Amino acid sequence: MKNFARLLPLVLLTMGSAGPALAQKLIHSERSMYRDVLVYEERGERCMCFTRECRIGRQSCIYLARPREFALSYTHMVMGGLLFATSAPPKTLLIVGLGGGTLPTALREVLPDAVIDTVEIDPAVTGVARRFFGFKEDPKMKVYEMDGRVYVKRAIREGKKYDAILLDAFDHEYIPEHLLTKEFLTEVKSLLAPGGVLVGNTFSSSRLYDHESTTYAAVFGTFYNLKAANRVIVAKPAGLPTMEQLRARAMEYELALRGFGVDVNTVLGMFNTRQDWNPNARVLTDQYSPANLLNH
């Protein structure tokens, strides 16, 4: 669950991170086998970061006085994609990337009977989510601590299917390379139940933007593109819902989402299929995925 401050001035405004670093109070720090996992408090917010003083964005945030309300803007778009683009309330969901657990916690409240499987590679992140962000598992909401692609391959072998899948895995810089490729997205697509929806959280501006877009298009065809500080991709192999269908679904969730600070009309206004990338950009594959080079 991530917003990143190094991309655009808009990101800085959205994330509210323009204050002096000295105002941040470090309340937790640990070094896992993958990264530093840090928790800061500043101006009524608590945030998980993977870099000192959150120099490269924030993984997850909550308002201390209003912990239910979403503190990062991308979560509004993700919730819209996961809920508005489905023809019925999803009963099975897969989330790759836990962060502070904001999204699975909210989805559990909105969908109390759903099975929500979350994959998180770093046990330290899971521990911090539980200790500092109020994340709690239950019999139908569990965390699997492993690499997201490993989980996907195992789920395929086990014949699992999901009504909705959210890709939200980041390291301290960007999405891991092996979770960006055509082969991986094809594997994820095969896990979708008939009528299922895929939602991917990415950057709204980066040197990877064109390549990501052509890769998603190669696997899913036309997709909805929602953009603010982050970019959220909403894809549906069975065919995208019309705006009228999206609007009808949004109204069903309007009251529930209002409690998280989500204005459904604002989110609806972000859904579009306009192509704003170079369609000739090379598709990312397991053989060609130089994300670290392209994104700098």
Rounded Cα gap, residues 131 and 57, in angstroms: 21
Portion of the chain with pLDDT greater than 90, in percent: 82
pLDDT tens per residue, range 219-250: 999 999 999 989 999 999 999 999 999 999 99
Phi, psi dihedrals of residue 169, rounded to the nearest 5°: -100, 125
The whole-number pLDDT of residue 5 equals 35
The active-site residue, picked from 117, 122, 163, 168, is: 168
* Count of positions (residues) in the chain: 296
At residue 255, does pLDDT exceed 80?
yes
Average pLDDT value over all residues in the chain: 90
Q: In angstroms, what CA-CA distances link 291 with 4, 146, 177, 244?
A: 16, 21, 6, 37
In which band, very low, low, confident or very high, does the pLDDT at 6 lie, cut at 50, 70 and 90?
Answer: very low
How far is the C-alpha of 231 from the C-alpha of 65, rounded, in Å?
28
Report the half-sphere exposure of 185 (CA within 13 A, side-chain side).
Answer: 27
Mean pLDDT computed over 128-139: 97
Q: Encode pLDDT of 267-278 as tens digits.
A: 999 999 999 999
pLDDT band at 1 (very low <50, low <70, confident <90, very high): low
296 has pLDDT over 80: no
Domains in the chain: ranges and CATH: 9-63 (no CATH), 74-294 (3.40.50.150)
- Two tokens at 38? 């840090």
User: Which residue stretches of 121-262 are H helix?
Assistant: 123-132, 148-158, 182-191, 209-220, 243-258
What does DSSP assign to residue 141? E
Identify which of 156, 3, 149, 159 has the alpha carbon closest to the alpha carbon of residue 76: 3
Active site residue 168: yes
- pLDDT of 84: 97
pLDDT score at 2: 52
Q: Tell me the pLDDT tens digit for each residue of 185-227.
A: 999 999 999 999 999 999 898 889 999 999 999 999 999 999 9
Indicate whether 22 pLDDT > 70: no
For 8, 214, 221, 289, the CA distances from 4, given in Å and listed in that order, are: 9, 22, 27, 21
> Which amino acid type is present at position 110?
V
Measure the CA–CA gap between 185 and 235, rounded to whole angstroms: 11
Residue 174 pLDDT:
85
The one-letter amino acid code at 192 reads L
Alpha helices in the chain (DSSP H): 9-15, 74-84, 102-110, 123-132, 148-158, 182-191, 209-220, 243-258, 264-268, 291-294
pLDDT band of 292, cuts 50, 70, 90: low
H or E element at residue 144: strand 141-144
pTM, two decimal places: 0.90
